[in-house]
Amino acid sequence: MSRTFDIPIISRGRIIPPGPDAIEFKGRTGAIFRAPDPKKHVGDLVLGDPGRLRDLQETPVREIVDFLAELGQRLAFDRNPYLQEAFELSLEAGGLTEPVLRAIYAGIPHMFDRAYLTELVEKTVGIDYLDGWVPQGTGPRARFRVRAVGTRQLHITAGNVPVVGAVTITRTALTKSDCLIKLPSNDPLSAVAIARTMIEIDPDHPVTRHVAVAYWKGGDEAMESQICRTSRIDKITAWGGMASVKHIQKFLSPGIDLIALNPKLSMSLVGKEALESPEAMQEAAAGVAMAAGKMNQTACVNTRVVYVESETDDASLERVIALGQKIYEAFQLLPPEISTPAPRPNRELESEMRALELEEELYWVIGDTLKGGVIVSRFSDRVDFHGQLNNRVVNLVPMPDLAKVTRWCDDTTQTVGVYPESLRYRLRDALALAGVQRMVPLALARGPADEGAEFPGMPHDGIEPMRRGVRWVIDEAASAKTEAVKAAAE
């Protein structure tokens, strides 16, 4: 019999466990958990008066980084029972396998590295702007000063990869903001585990006192209408699927800013060079397998469609099919901490693949939704169900002119993996104009470091969420002279 997990409400340094008012919920794959009735705890979840952010605003960024760095040290998976419980529930409620999930949890402490956090906040907002009023210009224009001020935020988080809670807590803390995290049903404990560890370190620290975490069922209008008010929330960051993003838009009004991290799809482009030698084909195949297979194709960054520079005559298609065969073989060789066979088949996708096998004049198919698979279109178009490709299944599409791929790109296209490098240089401007938010070499995807150690402060989905998360305030003096006198007195 499946265990029932308890999901407490975390309210700014306090833990509110499920009690007589507890409601039972189910995860997306069958896990069962209980949580307090959130409607009875709205007052515990929202900050209300923005003046209550003063304690965090007056805390230097350096001290916030110190606290987060200590938190990271306490989040070592083998020593943190809260994360271990979150891991156990995520195995039941989410879609990742044990080796992949364990590697992700083991990497959480690195997200709290002191040097990384310092560079992150400096590059995105600027430490001086968060710690005080920064003069603008010289001479007569020196009478202007600007400050970045923290806000009250609701974060509707996604649970496909259990690091979103850590990202949310670090981003809001570094920007001196208050955050309420709505937990996802496929990862309802990870953010709670981090918040409980914060409480163990110091329940009265300003960072701890500005984190609230709770679970309620997505689309609960009665709950969300209580929270999404200008008297309670300044910013909403929505990580969820398209339905949840559209749902939350109903509660927007002047004074509430939506930071939409919409659902994204990613693809790869493979130039004709990959088909010209066995070595190049193997290199491209390994890159595609990693780009599609890492985290078992559960993330927005994962490739689902691969456009291959090729004609559609029989001889050319045989080379594309040979590439598809090598991609399938490369899936089987991925390290288990990066990717594994799926824990269960995707019945709907499996049916689509088996149906395409019967249309041999239009498609070539290998594999399944357990070990992974490849669908090669014999014409220049992707399969109708390209958005549902998962479980390490990719669709290869021959394209005589890869420049025309931009017709399938828009602001939902997150990452494009490209092979070889020369092709990326040739297409990057056109891809950027079409809406693509990131281009990466497929050659980088061949190793576990994949995408490298990400450079701090890079845009996320085409925007800068941390800069969007603060309010930029101007203070204007009567003259530069009076401002200089005031500054000297301080």
Same domain, 166 and 30: yes
Query: 59: domain CATH number?
Result: 3.40.605.10
For residue 6, the surrounding DSSP H or E stretch is strand 4-6
For the cut 90, the answer to whether the pLDDT of residue 479 exceeds it is no
Residue 447 lies in a domain: no
- What residues contact residue 17 under an 8 Å CB cut-off, 6+ apart? 6, 8, 36
| Mean predicted lDDT score pLDDT of the chain | 92
For the cut 60, the answer to whether the pLDDT of residue 446 exceeds it is no
Same domain, 250 and 270: no
- The neighbour count for residue 336, using CB atoms within 10 Å, is 13
User: So what's the pLDDT on residue 248?
Assistant: 82
Residue 113 lies in a domain: yes
Across residues 317-333, what is the average pLDDT?
Answer: 98
User: So what's the pLDDT on residue 195?
Assistant: 98
Identify whether the C-beta of residue 377 lies closer than 8 Å to the C-beta of residue 363.
yes
The number of folded domains in the chain is: 2
User: So what's the pLDDT on residue 451?
Assistant: 41
pLDDT confidence of 457, banded at 50, 70, 90? confident
Across residues 386-394, what is the average pLDDT?
Answer: 95
pLDDT confidence of 325, banded at 50, 70, 90? very high
Residue 139 lies in a domain: yes
User: So what's the pLDDT on residue 447?
Assistant: 44
Tokens of 61: 């960024």
Which of 362-371, 449-458, 478-487 has maximum average pLDDT?
A: 362-371
User: So what's the pLDDT on residue 134?
Assistant: 93
For the cut 70, the answer to whether the pLDDT of residue 490 exceeds it is no
User: So what's the pLDDT on residue 158?
Assistant: 86
Across residues 455-469, what is the average pLDDT?
Answer: 89
Tokens of 139: 């001479």
Distance from C-alpha of 14 to C-alpha of 1, rounded to nearest angstrom: 31
For the cut 60, the answer to whether the pLDDT of residue 71 exceeds it is yes
User: So what's the pLDDT on residue 450?
Assistant: 41
Same domain, 192 and 279: no
Alpha-helical segments (H) within 312-420: 314-332, 347-357
DSSP string, 420-449: SHHHHHHHHHHHHHHT--EEEEGGGGGSTT
Residue 441 lies in a domain: no
Residue 410 lies in a domain: yes
For residue 304, the surrounding DSSP H or E stretch is strand 303-309
Distance from C-alpha of 69 to C-alpha of 112, rounded to nearest angstrom: 5
User: So what's the pLDDT on residue 119?
Assistant: 96
- What residues contact residue 268 under an 8 Å CB cut-off, 6+ apart? 287, 288, 291, 292, 303, 305, 306, 307, 416, 417, 418, 419, 442
pLDDT for 115-152, tens place per residue? 999 999 999 999 999 999 999 988 877 789 999 999 99
Same domain, 250 and 271: no
Identify whether the C-beta of residue 226 lies closer than 8 Å to the C-beta of residue 146.
no
Residue 480 lies in a domain: no
Tokens of 16: 């509110």
Query: 308: domain CATH number?
Result: 3.40.309.10
Beta bridge partners of 154: 180, 236
For the cut 70, the answer to whether the pLDDT of residue 486 exceeds it is no
Identify whether the C-beta of residue 224 lies closer than 8 Å to the C-beta of residue 114.
no
User: So what's the pLDDT on residue 337?
Assistant: 94
Residue 349 lies in a domain: yes
Residue 488 lies in a domain: no
The domain in which residue 230 lies consists of 4-263+463-474
Distance from C-alpha of 393 to C-alpha of 339, rounded to nearest angstrom: 13
Same domain, 65 and 135: yes
Distance from C-alpha of 129 to C-alpha of 126, rounded to nearest angstrom: 5
User: So what's the pLDDT on residue 484?
Assistant: 61
User: So what's the pLDDT on residue 137?
Assistant: 81
Composition of the chain by helix, strand, coil, percent to 5: 45, 20, 35
Percent of the chain exceeding pLDDT 90 equals 77
Phi, psi for residue 6 in degrees, rounded to 5: -100, 130
pLDDT confidence of 448, banded at 50, 70, 90? very low
Across residues 199-225, what is the average pLDDT?
Answer: 93
Distance from C-alpha of 456 to C-alpha of 160, rounded to nearest angstrom: 22
Three state DSSP letters for 124-149: HCCHHHHHCCEEECCHHHHHEEEEEE
For the cut 90, the answer to whether the pLDDT of residue 3 exceeds it is no
